[in-house]
Amino acid sequence: MMRNRYYVQHLAEYVFLIRERMTEDGEPGPNDRIVRSFPNRDDAYRSLSEMNDTRRKLDEHHEAENDVDVFVGDVHSGLFRESEQKKRGKQ
């Protein structure tokens, strides 16, 4: 998992941008999307912290949903993980 998805870029004395990392290596890049701008550092970092915490929770929730294996079927038809059935087109 990538470290924090969002970061602050100090552009000018009163311009702080929150940007979203877009590169595959997770490093800041010139094509990173600008999410929001702030006139002061404290507000930018406060919002940044909230955004990264929310993103982290969403990622953890998504990973937890994908880790659940549900077995369906019976002895005669064989047991398949629900994800395997979806791959075979048997929902």
Residue 49 lies in a domain: yes
Sequence length of the chain is 91
Sign of the Cα torsion 14, 19, 25, 30 reads: negative
Query: Locate tokens 């998504």: which residue?
Result: 62
Residue 81 lies in a domain: yes
- pLDDT, position 91: 47
Residue 1 lies in a domain: no
Contact 47, 18 (CB under 8 A): yes
- pLDDT, position 16: 98
Q: pLDDT truncated to tens, each residue of the chain (91 aa)?
A: 557 899 999 999 999 999 999 988 888 989 999 999 999 999 999 999 999 999 999 988 888 777 655 555 555 555 555 554 444 554 4
- What whole-number distance in Å separates Cα of residue 75 and Cα of residue 14? 68
Residue 45 lies in a domain: yes
**Closest by alpha carbon to 46, among 14, 18, 11, 12?**
18
Residue 72 lies in a domain: yes
Overall domain count for the chain: 1
- pLDDT, position 3: 75
- pLDDT, position 62: 80
Task: Provide the domain limits for residue 82.
Answer: 6-88
